[in-house]
Structure 1
Amino acid sequence: MFGSKVISLLILLNTIFFTCVSSQNIPCPPAPATPKKCPRDTLKLGVCGDWLGLVHEEIGAKPSSKCCALLEGLANLEAALCLCTAIKANVLGIVNLEIPVAISLVINSCGKKVPKGFVCE
């Protein structure tokens, strides 16, 4: 009778011990989420459309200061996402636009860089 109580106590303590030890294996938190939308009013990016429509005629011309001002303060990824959103929503009023080229032109002209591997989806 005494032996079965000792065995039961050891099993109980073992269970508690292994529960405590295994509960300490906490996974790493997930990586910060990539922004999925533009933190600015996308309609305002229409001022960038005028420049994109003229870029083939005025090689070397810079986008309007209003266009770059809208992208100011945004991280490179956020700026690219904003332009992508504006192009997809046809806010810029340009049809048959080569999206990766257009985004690169505006972003680079405003002193930013398109993040490596960025794809406008």
Structure 2
Amino acid sequence: MGKYLAASLILLLINLTSLLPSLACPYCPTPTTPAPPKKKPPPSPPPPSPPPPRPKPCPPPPSPPKPKPCPPPPPPAVPCPPPPKAPSSKCPIDTLKLDACVDLLGGLVLVGIGEDAKEKCCPVLGGLADLDAALCLCTTIKAKVLNINIILPVALELLVDCGKHLPSDYQCPS
């Protein structure tokens, strides 16, 4: 019995030690959340002020009337010169005559134009107008199925060496 009494007493002391801290605070209030702050309404913009009155401008003084000049007499009629002959789409000489010349040009793409090319090509192109000579070279280059983009600059340089003048933006007709 003494064992049960000692065990009961120990249990009672353990229970009291856990109960004592809860009895130490007689009243613990529950925390309250603070109320959200009140928002102030945005300030209203000031009313717009009326624009300042504009003064009315004074009308300018009337200008004196200007005398009307006599129209100049019409210039005398000058007849228009006939338009330059547009190059035809065909070469006026036989392109077979230019074959040897174009063969020389094909070999001179990387080297440059020499006296041999001038001696063979300039006499053939000599009797042609500037644009006709360029047209004949273009036709012959196309007939030989050569790369016209590579040979054309050399051909145009040959035309200049032969005394022909072409526009700087000349392109072979397609």
TM-score with structure 2 length normalisation? 0.44
Which structure 2 segments of 5+ residues have no match?
1-79
Once residues 60 and 81 of structure 1 are traced to their aligned partners in structure 2, the CA distance between those partners, rounded to angstroms, is 19
Structure 1 residues 43 and 82: alpha-carbon distance in aligned structure 2, compared to 1, 3 A threshold: same
Larger radius of gyration: 2
What one-letter code is carried by the residue in structure 1 that aligns with 2:167?
A: P
Aligned residues: 91
Instruction: Give the counterpart of 2:139 among 85, 89, 101.
Output: 85
Q: Which residue of 2 aligns with 1:13?
A: none
Return 33-42 or 73-82, whichever deviates more.
Answer: 33-42
Structure 1 residues 108 and 99: alpha-carbon distance in aligned structure 2, compared to 1, 3 A threshold: same
Q: Which residue of 2 aligns with 1:73?
A: 127
CA contact 1:77–1:115 (8 Å) conserved in 2: no
CA contact 2:101–2:121 (8 Å) conserved in 1: yes
What one-letter code is carried by the residue in structure 1 that aligns with 2:152?
A: P
Structure 1 residues 33 and 70: alpha-carbon distance in aligned structure 2, compared to 1, 3 A threshold: same
Once residues 43 and 61 of structure 1 are traced to their aligned partners in structure 2, the CA distance between those partners, rounded to angstroms, is 21
Match of 1:50, SS state, is helix
Instruction: Give the counterpart of 1:39 among 92, 105, 108.
Output: 92
Q: Are 2:112 and 1:59 aligned?
A: yes
Shift in Å, 1:89: 1.1
Q: Which residue of 1 aligns with 2:152?
A: 100
What's the RMSD between the two structures over aligned residues?
Answer: 2.6
What one-letter code is carried by the residue in structure 1 that aligns with 2:146?
A: V
CA contact 2:106–2:151 (8 Å) conserved in 1: no
Once residues 57 and 118 of structure 1 are traced to their aligned partners in structure 2, the CA distance between those partners, rounded to angstroms, is 22
Match of 1:35, SS state, is coil
Structure 1 residues 57 and 119: alpha-carbon distance in aligned structure 2, compared to 1, 3 A threshold: closer
TM-score with structure 1 length normalisation? 0.60
Alignment of 1:8-19 (within 5 A): none
Once residues 70 and 57 of structure 1 are traced to their aligned partners in structure 2, the CA distance between those partners, rounded to angstroms, is 23
Instruction: Give the counterpart of 2:161 among 87, 105, 109.
Output: 109
Shift in Å, 1:60: 4.5
What one-letter code is carried by the residue in structure 1 that aligns with 2:157?
A: L
